Structures are given as C-alpha cells and as structure tokens.
Structure 1
C-alpha cells in the first residue's frame, strides 16, 4: 500500500533552513525587529504619490511657460536655422580733385568671407580647410589658421578673408570648395585708384581691418575696408558709409532660396580736395624722370597756394601702386615695397627730415632785421671765410669757409647770392656784430611754426626736434657744449637743423604771403550723399608773423634777386616774374661729402598763386639739379592755369585729358544705389555660395 505523501502547510512561523539566522534565545514566535521581511507601511505610499504629483505639476507648468511666454523666442531660434542675415558694406565716398576729376573710384568686386557659425565643429577640419583656402588664394596659411582660431565660432558676423578676388580665384573656389561649410563669396565693392603711383602718398589706400582697428572702430562689420594711409585714413569717419543688411531664406542645405528684403547701405561722404590732378601729374612725372636720370634715391615736391594754404600737388618719390596694397596681393609682392632700400611707402613730403641749407636764410635775415641786429642797408665784406679764435685756447683757430667770396653785400644781395659769411655773422655774431645767438634763432623758428606740425590733413606728418644746447647734450654726449660754431651751422641750415618739406613750404608761404601763414590743407569740401555740403574747411590762419611790412619786403626782394641775378639766374627767362631760394646743404655720409638739393619758388612775384618746393636726395649738383623740374612746372602753370577762371580750366581739361598711360583699363564702377551683396542671385552665378552649411 503506497501511502499518500504528506503536504506541510506553511505558516508565518515556519522556517526555512536558510532563514535560521536568529539569536539562540529567541522564541519561536518571532518579534518584528527580528524578521527579515515585513510589509511596506501605508504612509510611504502617500509620500511617493505626492512627489509624483509635484513633479507632474512642475512639468506641466514649464510646458505652459514655454508655449505661452517663450514661444516667440523659440520661434526666432527656429527661424535662425533657415534665415540668414548678412551685412552689406556701404560704398566709400569718392575723392575728387578741385575740378571734379575722381582720384579714387568704387568698383564691383568679389570677396571671400568666413561664416564662423557654419565652420566645421572639429578643430582638425578647420585647420585643414584653412590650409586649403590659403593654398588656392596664395595666402599665408598660418595667418588664415590664426584668424579662424581666434574667431568666435558662435558668431554670425562674416569675417573678411580676402577682398578683390580675381575671377580666376572665384572659379577655383567654386570648383574646389563647392560643398565646403563656413566660407562664401560675396559681391562687394573695392577701391580702384586710376592714377596708380601718382597720388599714392596723398590719397592713400584702404585694407581690411586689423586687430587694433577693430578696437578703434567697434561698430564696423568685420568685412569692412578701412583707410590705411593718406586721405583715406585721415577722413575715414567721413568716407566710411552706413552698412546695410540683407535677410535671405535657405533650404536644408543652406542654399539661398528666397530674398526676404534688405536695408540699403548709405554711401560715405565725398571729398572735394584742393588738388589739381593735371598739375600733380606734371610734377610727378617731372620729378620721377629727374630722379631716374640722376640715379639718386628719391625726393619730394609740394605745390600750394600761399594765399589760401590749398595744397595743389604733393609728391613723394619713389612711389607705389595703391591698387596692389588694396587688392590683397601676395605677401611677396607687398614685401618688395616693405623691404626696398628706397622706402616707397614712406611719405617724404610730410615725414622726411632734410637740412634746409641756404633755404633757411630768408628766415634768419628777417629775424636779424626784426631784432635790429643789422639794417637792410648794412653791408658786410665777404672775403670767403670767417676765422674765429677758440675761447678756451687763443692759439687755436677755426676757419669757416664760404662756397665763394662775395665782396661787399647787404641783406638783399646776401640772400640773392647765398652768402654764408653774411648769415654766419648775423646769426652767430662776428667782429662788432653781436648776432642773434641760438636763443633768438630758436625763438624765430617757433614764430614760423617750425617747432610743431603744420596740421596738414595727413596722419603721416611728423615734426623733427629743433637743435638747442639741451638737444645737443642728448645727441652729442661726448661733446655736449654748444659753441658759436654750432650757431653758425644752424644759421645756414645745417648743424642738426632738419625740417620736413611741408614745414619748409609752409614757412616760405609766410614770406610770400606778406607775413600771413595759412594752414596747409588738402580738402576744401565734404559733400553728403544728397549733394549738400556738410562742411567747408576754412582757410585757417596758422599765424600772423610779428614783422614790419618793410622788413618782409626786403626779404622778398632778396628772393626775387635769386632768380634775376643770383644763384638761380638761369630761371630769369621764366614767362612770369618769380622769387625763390635755393638750398644745397652738405653733410658727410660714410666719410664722403654729399649734398641735398632744395629749391622753393613762388609766382607771380607780386601776387603769388603758386609756391613750389622741390627736394632731391643727394643729387650730384645740389640745388641746381632741381631747376629742370622747377622750370617745367612753372612754364606749365603759366600756360594752363595762370589768369584763367575755374570754368575756363574745366573746359581746358576736357580738351587736354590726362594721359591714358597713367590709367589702366577701368573695371565696372557702381553707383551708390547698386546692391552690393546679392545672395539671391549668388546661388546661380559667379557669386555662388561656397558655403554649404553643415549645421
């Protein structure tokens, strides 16, 4: 008989072997503290339920807040995923000569810009892309790499990489980077300088913003061009227009599919300068040819109206083509300018230091008359030298030799014949003539404004220090004592006295204009886009010389004698009466005596319209080598400008157009109303967006 197996009924007191972990003294009826399992209490369920309700409430509240109060913000953010806003650079103002001839123009061009927000996310991809772009455009790869590295990758503001792209460069970019994110080609405006080298130092040029300029012009778009030198720099705030904005819609691949409108840019103001472009070209070519024929380093020339201070022409040689600087040319091309021993980028006309030599004698003579050192009729016998005894050793003598003996001369003849002995005497003293001494010489340099800048509207102007005992102690510490010989030297424009051409021409203008010095300036009018004149630069009086009319007349007569019977009598056959003064200062260079060549002339003598200064660096014959240019320009002025009204001159210009060899084929120029950035058109033309955004 098989017995049926028993089934044990488990109770709460039934223990499994693995559960026998109790204290030995516990009873079979276990207490709650000794049990391994026990039911969850009700209040814990209540707490959990409350937490769920609170979290659901917070979630619901945030949903309502985002949908009701922040909806517009997130709609805008969403739109940013398919809308793009681009800055439209404003055309810069045009710079004209005094008769309406444009000296710089705006041409339609292409620029490559970087869109930081659309760049690849990986740094390695960005570096690779930078190198590829640099290779195609022949740019410095490190420069592009650093530009990308220092850019805010969340910025939507375009950053200029290169302006004035050649069409071949545009084609290469389209071919090589058609699906590349972060870069695009835009239609832009660029500056074109039709006269190339002839106006480079006065008009200047533009370029892309540097880091320091970004701080100076914080509101400028990063694609802007900014004036670097010349009038382009000095009048940057006037020439730079108000940028516009264009909004476009893109598809999923960020190709432009719709133009949503734009705010048009406002063109910059125009400048009406004092310059005469025909005169500038005549002077530029004459000086250039003379420097070439003499095989010398360089020179400068300035023509101005002494009665108004209007600069008619301003030349520095050698020169440079501003189109090369503006186009973003290869570094090797620009480096030729930067490393040239002739320093073509340097503006000699306002920053070159030249000893004036005998050109300072009219000033010294006028000072001597005003200080009553001598009278106009006082005569001195010039035997060709001065011999002075050392105050420290009576047996030691110093001889100062004139360039030739001149016999008996008064003030007028001393200026005309450029007698050094006469001006050593009235400057430093000799015999019974006390002389001006360095203090009074310094005083009259200051009266003529030679201790400061003239204020011409060129940032490049600088003024050299004037010689004095304090100056000498710094420059000649091994022998710091100022002696009478030092006074002699500065009295004839040597011995450390150096001035800029603009300072020299300004000082001579004070004599030509009967003691009134007008501030030299290059711009007369600033014209707004509506044609209205915003401001007119006044003919500001820099100073009125405290001199007697009869004394300044003596100096003028002496300068007239320079041309009629003096050191420049070869000019006596000029077609109009003129007065002038030469300067051939001598100094040692590498142990050799070399000369500078300077000549200033104004005409007509009794009612001057033009004052011309020509400076040559180390010509073989000193001031004599300036005379061919002086003659050519004065003859041209008499034939083409003297006595003519502005209307007659404009008509003459139409019949005597500037030589085409001075201009190249001019690209297409745009009017102020032309759209600069046409992204809608860009998707199917040469301005195709290179950027196929990967965001």
Structure 2
C-alpha cells in the first residue's frame, strides 16, 4: 500500500516537468465500452466545440442589432408620428359653434332669435316668432349631429339651413365656428380646455317685413278662406319705389318651429301628405290663371297701339259671337259675365267687361284688335313669362299663351280667334305668379319702372343717392296711358267691382279678377290687385284665393278690406 502511494507521488512530481496530453485528461468514450452514457452522476463530459461559441456570439449580436434597429426606427423615423398619436389620445379638437345672426323685421322686432339649449352647451337653439304667415318666409334650420363617438359629422358641423330666409341668407347668418382643444384623462374626464380660435357670430339680418302688417294680412287671408271655403291663398304688399316686401302671407303653410325641432313626426307627415301643399311657397312658386287682372296690361297695349280711342264705347250685350266654319248654323259664342251696355276703356276696366276686351284684343266686326302677338308682347314688357329676381329660390316663370305654345302643347293645333279672345281676358293657358303680378301692378303705379322685389330692407328710393334698389326694367309707355289705366282702376273702386275698398280715409285703386279652373268650371280663383294712395302711390298689393265656389260671395277683395280697416285704426301712417 505504501509502495503504491509512493509510486503515485513520484509520477506526479515527474508530470510537473512535461506537457499534459489531452488523452490523459479526457477519456475517449470509444475506448470505454462499458461507460454508461445515460448516467449523469459520475459522467465525464466531452469538450464544447469552438464553433458553438461563435454561433452563440453571432446570435446575440444579431438579436441585439435587430432590437437596436427597431428602436432607432420608432424613436428617430416615426417618433414624431407616434408622439402626435399619443398626444391625440388625450387631446381633442372641439368645435365652438357660432351663434346664428338674428332675423329682424324692418322696425328691429326679432322674428328669429337664439336661446339656451337645455340639452347641450354646444350650440344655441333657434326660436321663431309664432305670427301666422311667417314660416314660408323665414324657413327653418336643422341642428348639427354627432356620430356614435360623440364627434360632429364633418359635413354637419354647422347649422343646416333648409328653407326660406334662413337658407337664402345662410352665408350671412351662419357666422364662423371656433375651435378649442380639450385634454382628457384615460377615463375621458376633461382635465383642461384651451381656446385656439374664437367663434364669430353670424350677422343680424333686417327684413323689409313689418310684423304688425304681416300678422294682420295673414289673419285676414285665413279669415276669408275659412268663411268662403277656399283651399289656399297668398297675398303680398310691396313698396312701389323700393321693391321692399312689407307683408306676405301664404295659406296653408307649415310651422317653422315644428320643422326646426323635427320631433313631431305625425304633424310633419300630415303636411307632407296634405293635398293643399303647405310646403308650397305660393308667392314665388305658385302659378295661377290670372283672369281679368290681365285686362290692365292689355289696355296699356291697346292704348300704345292706338287701335281705339280710350273714350270710344263698345256695346256689351252679354256676349259676342263669331261664325263657325265647321257648323255655320252654330256660331261660337263668347260670354261676358253680365251685360254692361256701352263702356269705354276706363269703364271696361272698372266693371271688367269681357266683351270690350274680346273686341280690342282679337278684333270683332269693324273694330280692330291688337292681336295675340301684341298681347304676348305687352305681357312680356311687364315681366310676365320671366322671373322677377326676388331674393328667394324656386321662382317660376309662368306661361304666356301663343300660337307656338299651342302647337307644342296641343299636338300641333292651329291658333284660333277664340284663343285670342280668351287670352285677352287672362284665361286659356295664362299662368302667372303672385310676385310677378305685384311687380307689374307696381310698374303701373310708378308709371313704368319694373323693380326687383326683395325681402330685405334697402331703404332709399331708386332715384336717391346711395340707393340699393334694383331696377330690372323700364316700360317706356306714354305717361298719359298709365294715367288712363289708373283712372279705370280708381273707377273700379267708386263704381265697379272693387266697391268694397271705397273708404273715406284712403283712396285706393283696384282691379278684381275671377279665373275659372278645372274642366267643370265650378271652381274659381279670386284675385284683387291695386295700389294706394291713388293720387300719390306708395304701395301695391295682390291677393289670390284658390279653388273657391263660383257662386261664392266672398272674394279676395275682402282680404284687403279687412287690412285697410285695420290699418286705419292701428297704423294710419301707411295710408298717408
């Protein structure tokens, strides 16, 4: 035993002085057939290859490089983008809605104003005056709406004007919205707000309407319509020197406030389905057969053409007849509404004699007429068949019958003398709007100036310096011709069909008209037009009542009767 230990130490000392052979350290498993490779304890490992260290280092450097590259991309290349996106998670641009401008009457009485919205601080609510007859004029707006995230739609970030003055003058009334930045926490709670652009409220708009006059005119229209069973109607009063519309009513009509809220679906649907069309602006878009009011303009054409002296009388026995080439024993008969006896031009206007205007319009026997070409010419001279340019949308041109018009609309039929007769008294295919009529009557009153009607206050007369009055045309007829026609209109009040307007407190000039409608001729439209004061005209008016009974004793003239009597008590300044 001692000998063996001594041998081991001897060998150990010898080994200090020589190199160690790897075979002496690591046993070759191939030389140990009985070595248990599955046994961990006591196992002698093989050396790790140098390539393993190289692979590991490459992997570490590769992963690190990728990480550094991505970090560089996030911080340097896209850092600003992600920083903005992060900020936007907490900061939001919010609209500050501008208040719409007020709409005022000519005396600064508010017709449309703003009030606090009890459900939202974002914008104010619109309030509309409740006076009858204003809705068609004022129109209404719809409010901005949000999406499911509470953000206002891009195309609905302002009030949506839908009709009337609100729509026509939306650019002035709208104003300019402001912007604020709202900071919120992760729960959506507002931390702070900063205004970056203040809103600019819309401009106030002063209309030409006098709310007192407007209200009474509308009430009178509704009263006569109710008493006489008319299905609709419209009326207007206009300054003959400026074109300002002082009052205008429309029946039936919708309610601006209900349309503004948009919550009363039952009421709104009833208006949509109403056969009397409450959404129709009868002043601008309604077209009517004018009837006898067209005799005023035919009379001016007759005087200008010189086909008859204004003092020459024509006998009205209640009708005239012309030979019928197809049935010689059955002449064509054209009726007057009554037998008037002998009438000259002034009295023919006053009593509205059909026979007189048949004769001077189309000619009869020895008396020459001006013919359909001239009837069309003078109607056009006074603005019929064209838009007036009023500051409103949806204006209709109407129709002036002519031989060409008949060919186009009646399968090429030729024009006959009876067509001229009927056109001369405002029947047949004549279609006019109320705004055209009041402008044309104003041109008679002011002796030849066609004004552009307006719902806004313009102030000064056309001839005054700095005036904003728009003149759309001049009708250059002899002033004496205008005088003769105006005398006939005044005679209509003192001795003719407008006798209801014969007052002791104001002199009115007027012309009535009745237009038969429908195939049965049992329904009529009732008209009255005119101006006042007679000797120094300031205002013109026109009223039409729709689809009343032909036997009705209540015509449009009674609407103006109520208005004049009211003005005499409450606003006598309008009668001077």
TM-score class normalised by the smaller sequence:
0.7 to 0.9
Q: How does 1:10-29 map to 2 (within 5 A)?
A: 10=30
Alpha-carbon distance in structure 1 between the residues aligned to 2:234 and 2:574: 27
CA contact (8 A) 2:132 2:219 kept: no
SS in 2 for 1:625: coil
Contact kept, 8 Å, 2:512 with 2:557, in 1: the verdict is: no
Contact 1:454 1:503 in 2 (8 A): yes
How far has the Cα of 1:254 moved from its partner? 0.7
CA-to-partner distance for each residue in 1:514-553, whole Å, 9 max, x for gaps?
1111111011269xxxxxxxxx982111111021111111
1:92 aligned to 93, 100, 104, which one? 100
* 1:424 and 1:488 in contact (8 A); partners too: yes
Pick aligned residue for 1:613 from 542, 565, 568: 542
Residue in structure 2 matching 1:384, options 315, 318, 324:
318
Is 1:248 paired with 2:182?
A: yes
Measured in 2, the distance between the counterparts of 1:249 and 1:463 equals 56
2:562 to 632, 638, 651: 632
Equivalent residue for 2:334?
400
* Equivalent of residue 188 in structure 1, options 123, 127, 136: 123
Determine whether 1:498 maps to 2:431. Answer: yes
Q: Is the 8 A contact 1:575 1:635 kept in 2?
A: no
Aligned partners of 2:511, 2:565: CA distance in 1, in Å?
Answer: 18
| Structure 1: distance between partners of 2:540 and 2:301 | 22
In structure 1, C-alpha distance between the alignment counterparts of 2:404 and 2:257, rounded to whole Å: 45
The 1:8/1:627 distance shift into structure 2, 3 A limit, reads closer
State the distance in 2 between where 1:495 and 1:598 align: 16
Relative to structure 1, the CA distance from residue 322 to residue 264 in structure 2 (aligned partners, 3 Å threshold; closer, same or farther) is: same
Which of 584, 589, 592 aligns to 2:514? It is 584
Q: CA-to-partner distance for each residue in 1:385-435, whole Å, 9 max, x for gaps? A: 110113455444100010111222111111011110111111111112332
Shift of residue 295, structure 1, vs aligned partner: 2.5
Using the TM superposition, give the Cα deviation of residue 561 of structure 1 relative to its aligned residue in structure 2, in angstroms: 0.6
* Structure 1 residue 588: Cα displacement: 3.2
Counterparts of 2:254 and 2:131 in 1: how far apart (Å)?
7
Relative to structure 1, the CA distance from residue 525 to residue 573 in structure 2 (aligned partners, 3 Å threshold; closer, same or farther) is closer
Cα gap change, 1:8 to 1:607, in 2 (>3 Å): closer
TM-score normalised to the size of structure 1?
0.70
1:486 corresponds to 2:419? yes
- Aligned residue number for residue 135 of structure 2: 200
* Cα distance per residue 1:80-134 (max 9 Å; x no partner): 1122221122111111110000110111115xxxxxxxxxxxxxxxxxxxxxxxx
Deviations 1:333-387 (A, max 9, x none): 3111111222222111211111111111010000111122222222212222110
Question: Which of 283, 288, 291 in structure 2 is aligned with 1:357?
Answer: 291
- The answer to whether the aligner puts 1:287 opposite 2:217 as a matched pair is no
Cα-to-partner distance string for 1:591-648 (whole Å, 9 max, x where unaligned): 3522211101211012122222121112335685223321121233344445479xxx
2-structure distance, mates of 1:368, 1:430 = 14
Q: How does 1:262-411 map to 2 (within 5 A)?
A: 262-392=196-326, 394-411=328-345
2:493 matches 1:563:
yes
Output the CA distance in 2 between the equivalents of 1:543 and 1:617.
30
For the pair 1:104 / 2:37, whether they are aligned, the reply is no
**8 Å CA contact 1:104, 1:193 repeated in 2:** yes
Q: 1:583 to 1:461 in 2, by over 3 A?
A: same
Once the two structures are superposed, the pairs formed by residues 427-576 of structure 1 within 5 Å of their partners are 427-477=361-411, 480-524=413-457, 538-576=468-506
Structure 1 range deviating more: 220-229 or 62-71:
62-71
Q: Within 1, Cα distance between the matches of 2:277 and 2:49?
A: 94
Q: Is the 8 A contact 1:271 1:525 kept in 2?
A: no
Aligned-residue Cα RMSD (Å) equals: 3.1
Deviation digits for residues 547-576 of structure 1, max 9, x if unmatched?
111111111111111001111223223411
Compare relative contact order (CA 8 Å, sep 6+) and give the higher one, 1 or 2: 1
How many angstroms apart in 2 are the aligned matches of 1:634 and 1:52? 102
In the alignment, the residues of structure 2 paired with residue 489 and residue 75 of structure 1 have an alpha-carbon distance, to the nearest angstrom, of 81
- 1-side partners of 2:211 and 2:441: how far apart? 23
Give the whole-Å Cα distance in 1 for the aligned partners of 2:30 and 2:247.
Answer: 120
Give the whole-Å Cα distance in 1 for the aligned partners of 2:278 and 2:416.
38
Q: Following the alignment from structure 1 to structure 2, what is the Cα–Cα distance between the partners of residues 101 and 359? A: 35
Q: Rg larger in 1 or in 2? A: 2
Cross-structure match for 2:5: none
Aligned residues: 521
Give the structure 1 partner of residue 532 of structure 2. 603
- Partner of 2:355, secondary structure, is helix
When residues 575 and 624 of structure 1 are mapped into structure 2, their CA distance, relative to the original with a 3 A threshold, is farther
Partner of 1:32: none
CA contact (8 A) 2:500 2:561 kept: no
TM-superposed CA distance for 1:57, in Å, is: 5.0
| Contact 1:524–1:537, Cα closer than 8 Å, also in 2 | no
Segments of 5+ residues of structure 2 without an aligned counterpart are 1-26, 32-47, 146-151, 460-465
2:123 counterpart SS class? strand
The answer for the alignment partner of 1:134 in structure 2 is none
Q: Secondary structure at the residue paired with 2:115?
A: strand
| Unaligned ranges ≥5, structure 1 | 1-6, 12-38, 111-164, 166-184, 211-217, 527-535, 650-695
